[in-house]
Amino acid sequence: MKMISFLFKARGALLALMGGLVLLSSLDANAIPVFARQTGFKCVACHVGGEYPQLTALGRYFKLTGYTQGDAKDIFGEMTTNLDRAPFAVWLQASKQWYANTQPGGINGNAPTSQFSGQTISLFTGGHLTDHVGAFIQWTAAKYDGLTTSSTGPTAPLNWTVSIDNSEVRVADHRVNKSGDWIYGAYINNRITMSDVWNTQENWTSDWIGYFNAGFNGVTGLAPTTELQSGSTQHNNVGVGTYLYKDKTWYGELAVYRKVSNGPLSVFTEGVDAGSAPTLNNNLYTRFGYNKEWGPHELFIGLHGLFGSGDPYGVNIGTTANPITFYSSANNQATWQDMGIDAQYQYILDPHYFSAHFRLTHENMQNSAPLVGGTVANANNNLNEYWADMTYIYKAKYGAMLFFHGARGSSDTVLYSSGVSGSPDWDSIMPSIFWSPYQNIRIGLMETFYTRLGGTTSSLITNPVAGSGNLSPHSFNTTMLYGSVIY
């Protein structure tokens, strides 16, 4: 009966999606965003099966050469007479989410659970600025954004928040001479791993869709991630980096990231709540890898790392009604060393598109004395975070994805207080299917299954918010039906 009820509800939401699709189908089917207008390339040229954000070899080349390819004069020089090629794009997403557990009292955070509604709106601009300088700029209005919004439970009103999103400026060049094929450059951006062109790092993995709320409001430490791969470090830290790509084979990158609150670079953190995200001192980000392309195949194997210090827990944003305790109440310091291996495989031969990614990141963290006994129990903690995914797309229209994400680490009864004996261990599986009737429209269904949370696979997680007994990992399983259009 539950399955029949769910299918009936899903049908209603799908009809709403289809109604929107009929309206959107009146748009030019060839309409594609900023970079496609600049280059004249179709989506499938730069994205695997046309599905962003996964990049093909051409997409990687476009980004590494600073977003400068294409007829920039037509975009910028003649914008007043060629408005259909203006250097702007807008991305809209709406969704409906269903939770396995719907207990009152804030356990499901501030995610929508009862109606199909708008979730995010992003405005993009950028592209060619000069022959060697280009940009990628994104602003996002989000209805359910933990970095800029706090909630006292699902009954509290939430306003849309607007802040800068993934943004980057690059200076780059490409030269071919007797010593080889060289692409080199430098960048300024506002998120660690934004520079990634192999889609193995957190910022550009394929589960990007949606500002997906996993329902952990008030239940802390159930699914921790490393400092390098954490989404909480996004957009309130600014990095300056340089990179080199030789013979389409060897890649190296070094960057330094730190907290920026004022000065000219603070434009990269505009709108982000400084108190709700970690603050970084000078942190060194490294990336080295080997790439091989042959026929329709491509293979990348790399190393990644983040070495630095800061306040990884931000500041206290908890309230009596919403007792979030994951953030420290003072500017207490910790140091960390994150190191890992990652890999990508692609097969691209129309009508078949396939890709797979893997990442394993090991973190050692040393907590300062003021943190011990308050925010954490241990002076030293470690965490091993893993990620793997597979994607298959047919005719650049029909696709399926499967993701695996989780972690293992040292127990900490304060930091991971909701887990069994302070365990941070967790595992999840996320299958997804989608349909793209037009290259700029996507409709999909995504399911998140938690098989382990807080170190347990059974009903041993205490619910500190609702006070209604124990929850199992399956209580946080989430289904999401979404539609997105980018134009």
pLDDT in tens, the chain (487 residues): 444 443 444 444 444 444 444 334 333 333 347 888 888 888 899 999 998 899 999 999 999 999 998 865 544 444 333 445 678 899 998 888 777 765 544 444 444 455 677 888 999 999 999 999 999 999 988 775 444 433 333 334 456 778 888 999 999 999 999 999 999 999 999 999 999 999 999 989 876 654 444 455 445 567 889 999 987 667 788 999 999 999 999 999 999 999 887 888 888 888 776 555 677 889 999 999 999 999 999 999 999 999 999 888 765 444 444 444 444 445 578 999 999 999 999 999 999 999 999 999 999 999 988 888 878 899 999 999 999 999 999 999 999 999 999 999 999 998 888 778 889 999 999 999 999 999 889 999 999 898 998 888 887 665 555 455 567 788 778 888 999 998 8
* Cα Rg of the chain, angstroms: 22
Print burial letters for 212-244: b (CB count within 10 Å at least 16), e (below 16).
bbbbbbbbbbbbbbbbbbbebbbbbbbbebebe
C-alpha pair distances (Å), 372 with each of 53, 232, 314, 369: 40, 21, 15, 5
The residue ranges of every structural domain in the chain are: 2-31+170-486
Give the three-class secondary structure for 371.
coil
Q: Is the peptide bond before 87 cis (omega within 30 degrees of 0)?
A: no
Angle among Cα 285, 176, 133 to the nearest 5 degrees reads: 55
Q: How many CA atoms lie within 13 A of 140 on its CB side?
A: 23
Helix (H), strand (E) counts: the chain: 5, 20
What is the DSSP-derived secondary structure letter of residue 456?
A: B
Q: How many CA atoms lie within 13 A of 128 on its CB side?
A: 20
Please tell me the predicted confidence (pLDDT) of residue 375.
83
In 3D space, the residue among 22, 309, 319 whose CA is nearest the CA of residue 151 turns out to be 319
Distance CA 101, CA 104 (A): 9
CB-CB contact of 351 with 362 (8 Å): no
Q: Write out the two tokens for 197.
A: 């062109």
CATH top-level class of 2-31+170-486: mainly beta
Q: Write out the two tokens for 360.
A: 């394993």
